[in-house]
Structure 1
Amino acid sequence: MITATPRRRASAFDPMESIRCWGKPTRQPSHRRPAASDRSSQTRRSAEQRCNCLKERQFVVLPEMAWAKRLQITFLILATIIIGGVSAVDTYWTFKNQDFLYQYEQNPVGRWLMEQDGGDVALFMTFKMVGTLVVMCTIPLLYRFRAKWGITAGASVAGFQCLLFVYLNFGEYFVQL
């Protein structure tokens, strides 16, 4: 008797998926096409059975994989908090020192934006906040579509933000050395 085979291959993380979902272990399909009598109601499943099968698949997660996913998501949340936190500190210092910021600003784009706004930092800060929001929204999207890219981007941006935080708060000590 020929058993039904799933339309997609079982996941590499859960080789037992086809056994749980279809009820019987599947064998490699033969090269012959089954006869019309073999393709009867035995091999076809009702819509309700397919739905139940999909419901079962949603909750099947190996403990190791769940732990790794939780760790990755925790890391991304932490990286996003670091990015937002350092940006908030940078915004604070920008508004606190806006009277003489143009003299000390080392970013040429930032200096140009301040020139365009008549020496005010409002346009400069608007672009910084929009850029920060774009980055903070893009990193989870990257993780959703390509996990390695999201983790790499999150780690890189959070690392650079940490270096920026050290430079902004302790940079004067490094210049004196």
Structure 2
Amino acid sequence: MERNPKALPEQAAVENGEYTTYVDEVFGAVVTRGPINDAWRLTLWANCYNEPIFTSLAQEFDVGRDEFNVLSCLASYGSMVARTICDVTGRPKNSISRAVNRLVERKMLKRKTNVNDRRESLLILNEAGLRLYERVLPLAVNRQQLMLESLSKEERESLDFILNKLMRSRQHW
């Protein structure tokens, strides 16, 4: 097949049956060797984790990303205010607020208004919320295990060390 000189690189690659090679070249230039390659790799890894998990949670359990974040924080730590969930997850206040409202409507958690500041409520996970979290958690854990299975035990420990070190400096970002 003769190459069309006016074709875009991806069109030429598709025409020649070399599209996978072309994508690998672009991936290398942008994700592996680009000027912000660390950010790209972390983002890509997170996207490849988040998109399938949150799609499954929404379809199977009617639980959105921020609802999962709220459930996870409350199940892992205990009662807290929404502002703390925002600070821990890096999610916007309006997203967490909508998730909290939806979980309250679904009777998965309750609010206890702060008598000193009526704008603030303590969020308390109830038994139904905990059961829901326990049902959805295995999907998230299994996806994480799948995505990390290529690492040896020592590499996994190194990754944990590095990620923990990065997270300790998060207030400076």
TM-score, normalization by structure 1: 0.27
Q: Which has the higher contact order (CA 8 A, sep 6+)?
A: 1
Q: Please state which structure has a larger fraction of its residues in strand.
A: 2
TM-score, normalization by structure 2: 0.27
